[in-house]
Amino acid sequence: MVFNVLTIFPDMFEGILRNSILKRAIEKELIKVNLVNIRDYSKDKHKKTDDYPYGGGYGMVMMVQPIYDAINAVKSFKNTPVFYMGPKGKKFDQKKAIELSKYDEIIILCGHYEGIDERVYSLIDEEISMGDFILTGGEIAAMAVIDSVSRLIHGVLPQDESFIDESFYCGLLEYPQYTRPEIFNGMEVPKVLLSGNHAEITKWRRQKSLETTLKLRPDLLDRKYLSEQDIEYLKKLGYSDI
């Protein structure tokens, strides 16, 4: 999968792309991250990409021309979807990550300052937000999208089951995890995890996922993700809104 990232700060991505899972995925050619410097498309002799807003007001606005030309250059006659990391978009979640992972190639536009010239939206397919908080720019949000989507691409993780068990993939928060030592400061690993009984371990993990989700994020509990056994267990826990 190809991620084309349009940004005025490409160096911000160097750390995440040179480490851990993404580094290995790039080396295996499972993903490609094409960093496009929007400044390279500026027609200003000083390579400016921002200017004062018409009508006055605080801050600067990213200019239409450099972004417009950068997007068109990357598209190069391909119908590559453009996603803008901005505050007015729908919140990014695991469902959206799965949706994006189905593409062979996408363009991610990183906003900055007070945003982009409204005319850029004529080339944008969808705006995506990380949540109701303020970031310096879209680069941090773009990194999160790349990392999240890459994990869903076959071969990036050692086993596909690695992401299937993670929080949010199946609509629930992940179950508790333990590793050595078996006992630490009097706190023991649950006996079922040491039993070798995989059926019981699977059952325990599912129930713990349900308990954790009910306690921390009951808004995630959706009947379409739940089995009849799940519903019965939630009722035993005192949850009836299902």
Q: What residues are designated binding site for S-adenosyl-L-methionine?
A: 111, 130-135
List, as residue ranges, the binding site: 111, 130-135
Q: Please report, to the nearest 10 degrees, the dihedral formed by the alpha carbons of residues 109, 110, 114, 117 taken in order.
A: -20
Query: Rounded to the nearest 5 degrees, what angle is found at the Cα of 47, between the Cα atoms of 147 and 86?
Result: 35
Three-state SS string over the chain comes to CEEEEEECCHHHHHHHHCCHHHHHHHHCCCCEEEEEEHHHHCCCCCCCCEECCCCCCCCCEECHHHHHHHHHHHHCCCCCCEEEEEEEEEECCHHHHHHHCCCCEEEEEECECCCECHHHHHHCCEEEECCCCCCCEHHHHHHHHHHHHHCCCCCCCCCCHHHHCCCCCCCCCCCCCCCCCCEECCEECCHHHHCCCHHHHHHHHHHHHHHHHHHHCHHHCCHHHCCHHHHHHHHHCCCCCC
What are the Cα distances from residue 205, in Å, to 176, 186, 190? Answer: 8, 22, 11
* CA 59 to chain CA centroid, nearest Å: 28
